[in-house]
A and B are shown apart, each in its own frame.
Chain A
Amino acid sequence: AQSVAQPEDQVNVAEGNPLTVKCTYSVSGNPYLFWYVQYPNRGLQFLLKYITGDNLVKGSYGFEAEFNKSQTSFHLKKPSALVSDSALYFCAVSPQRTNAGKSTFGDGTTLTVKP
């Protein structure tokens, strides 16, 4: 069975500083990895995914994530945080080529960016 760990419930950063939201996973075989964001009172939005290829994946709103197979991690990063980035972030993993949408989600990390 696959699993996802987001070790930090909360991440606080100052606007303009770099941010990292951590994610580690456990899965049989090669993983598909995803990040989603949930703004207050909004549905989840897809940010980025790793399927294959370059370990550094770029996504929406200036976010990127690095797949590290040896550390089984897929941390979300952004060079310069904005107050509008404040939201709930979910990491997800799927091992199945034919049903990548049946993902296991982490419990989420609340990112707060302060002016």
Chain B
Amino acid sequence: GAGVSQSPSNKVTEKGKDVELRCDPISGHTALYWYRQSLGQGLEFLIYFQGNSAPDKSGLPSDRFSAERTGGSVSTLTIQRTQQEDSAVYLCASSLPGLAGAGELFFGEGSRLTVL
């Protein structure tokens, strides 16, 4: 498709289980971001990938969170031993490289995670 694709759109899991969320960015977008949107709050930056550079993990809230990006395209966000406070909508975004695309993020529809 033409847009950022995320799956699953909804995920309900039990506390303590691991979950994987997938993001397929727009073709040609070298930058990929993960954000988290909790109920009634703004977006919280989690992690950023740019090409083959080392990812910026400065926003990951704990070591239970990790992400990888394979082949410069698809990314997977993994949350281990989920906790109830992890419940949120996880948003993926991609952008064009360079100043022309600076900051203009194209967001997916998000993966809503509910931890029971």
Contact = CB atoms under 8 A, between A and B. Distances in A.
Given A43-B110, A45-B107, A49-B103, A101 B31 contact: yes
A36 B43 CA distance: 11
Interface residues of A, number: 25
B1 interface: no
Contact of A101 (B42, B44, B91, B103): B103
Given A43-B91, A51-B99, A51-B102, A101 B33 contact: yes
A103 B109 contact: no
Given A42-B109, A43-B109, A44-B91, A102 B45 contact: yes
A107 interface: yes
A99 B48 contact: yes
Contact of B45 (A34, A44, A45, A103): A103
Interface of A: 4, 32, 34, 36, 42-46, 49, 51, 90, 92, 94, 97, 99-108
Interface of B: 4, 31, 33, 35, 40-45, 48, 50, 56, 91, 93, 95, 99, 102-110
Q: Lowest 5 A-B CB distances belong to which pairs?
A: A100-B103, A100-B102, A105-B43, A44-B107, A43-B109
